[in-house]
Amino acid sequence: MDQDSHCTAERELLEAVSRITTFSTTNPTDEEQNQPKAEISCQVRKENPEKDDLQDASASLSPNSSMTTKELQEYWRNEKRQCRQVKLLFEIPSTRIVEHRLSKYVMYKIIILQTGTFDSNKSVIERRYSDFEKLHRNLLAEFSEEMEDVTFPKKTLTGNFTEEIINERKLAFKDYLRLLYSMKYIRRSKKFIDFLTRPELQEAYGCLRGGQYTKALEILLEVIGLQERLTRGNPVSVVPTLCAIVVCHKDLENPASAFEYGEKALSRLRMYTSHRYYIPLLETMITLAYELGKDFLSLQEKLEEWKAKKDPIRVFTLKELAVREYVQ
């Protein structure tokens, strides 16, 4: 292929990537000020998307990309795969009554499965009535039109703990989640995703901050699959969780597993080199690669290339970033 044809191919691929990229503006952090922002999404969002829903996906996309034609082709294929909707099925097979000295409530066991294939990585979570109620209020505030015909099971003055009422609510909450998931703006909203993942992530990061790496890792590995399926159109959003898994494996002296998850995180940051996790992750990966006898020079070159282009700024370590997540 001659030079003109090669340039044309790269230009066409860049245009294709641009077509699946929606540019948005967020409040930049001190480390990311004056950088152009971009978010990969399958469809254009509403005119005023929630700011928190964009922050993790925001980063710079250089128009003068140094990626080769082959790398651009692979990136485009990956983004198309990420944009395919994963259909999820919600089941509520059982409940349990929790009694404390001053309170009593029902916990609903929710099983989340991927349809259309055998899903060996089903996700299991528990939520109580007040959790559903809070979700409903939050969604009504943001999606009043979409929620217009969505009914929510009301509380009763008596009989909330009878078998009949509990079974009715099991079916009602199952239909409720199915209906919410069927609406594209709601299933992609931060409020819906947080309802399904945030309690577990908060617990995991709490364990991480307390040095309970085994327990933190156990929870993170359970939630990452669900988080990835819920945020398929926004792969950058799972980077913090992947990096927390890297930190846990590294502190548990499992460098091979840490490197494996670090590679997954780096692949999602290929076009987002201004992301706050990019440099700390690169530095950790260089250390792990050297320890494992893997190629660390290519990672070192990326680090030096980034430092040559950017002004010196304060960069936290990967562990320092991880312990700051989900701090109340």
Can you read off the two tokens belonging to residue 135?
């979700």
The three-state (H, E, C) secondary structure of the chain, written as one string = CCHHHHHHHHHHHHHHHHHCEECCCCCCCCCCCCCCCEEECCCCCCCCCCCHHHHCCCECCCCCCCCCHHHHHHHHHHHHHHHCCCCEEEEEEEEEEEECCCCEEEEEEEEEEECCCCCCCCEEEEEEHHHHHHHHHHHHHHCCCCCCCCCCCCCCCCCCCCHHHHHHHHHHHHHHHHHHHHCHHHHCCHHHHHHHHHHHHHHHHHHHHCCCHHHHHHHHHHHHHHHHHHCCCCHHHHHHHHHHHHHHHHHCCCHHHHHHHHHHHHHHCCCCCCCCCHHHHHHHHHHHHHHHCCCCHHHHHHHHHHHHHCCCCCCCCHHHHHHHCCCC
With contact defined as beta carbons under 8 Å apart, do 89 and 114 qualify?
Answer: yes
Architecture, CATH, for domain 87-188: 2-Layer Sandwich (3.30)
With contact defined as beta carbons under 8 Å apart, do 204 and 325 qualify?
Answer: no
- Note the pLDDT of residue 35: 37
Instruction: Select the more confidently predicted residue: 58 or 88.
Output: 88
Which of 74-83, 97-106, 132-141, 310-319 is predicted most confidently? 132-141
Confidence of residue 115 (pLDDT cuts 50, 70, 90): confident
| Neighbour order of strands in the sheet with 123-128 | 88-99, 104-114, 123-128
Summarised one tens digit per residue, pLDDT across range 26-57 is 344 443 443 333 332 333 334 344 444 344 44
With contact defined as beta carbons under 8 Å apart, do 273 and 60 qualify?
Answer: yes
- Note the pLDDT of residue 44: 35
Boundaries of every domain in the chain: 87-188, 202-324
- Note the pLDDT of residue 135: 97
- Note the pLDDT of residue 20: 39
The one-letter amino acid code at 258 reads: A
Average pLDDT for residues 98-126, to the nearest whole number? 86
Residue 19 has pLDDT above 80, yes or no: no
Q: State pTM to two decimals.
A: 0.73
- Note the pLDDT of residue 272: 92
Confidence of residue 61 (pLDDT cuts 50, 70, 90): very low
Residue 154 has pLDDT above 70, yes or no: yes
Summarised one tens digit per residue, pLDDT across range 255-283 is 999 999 999 999 999 999 989 999 999 99
Average pLDDT for residues 193-212, to the nearest whole number? 97
Confidence of residue 301 (pLDDT cuts 50, 70, 90): very high
- Note the pLDDT of residue 93: 95
Can you read off the two tokens belonging to residue 212?
């309970």
What pairing do the DSSP bridges indicate for beta strands 21-22 and 123-128? Answer: unpaired
- Give me the CATH code for the 202-324 domain, please: 1.25.40.10
Confidence of residue 75 (pLDDT cuts 50, 70, 90): low
Residue 102 has pLDDT above 90, yes or no: no
Instruction: Select the more confidently predicted residue: 160 or 215.
Output: 215
With contact defined as beta carbons under 8 Å apart, do 322 and 243 qualify?
Answer: yes
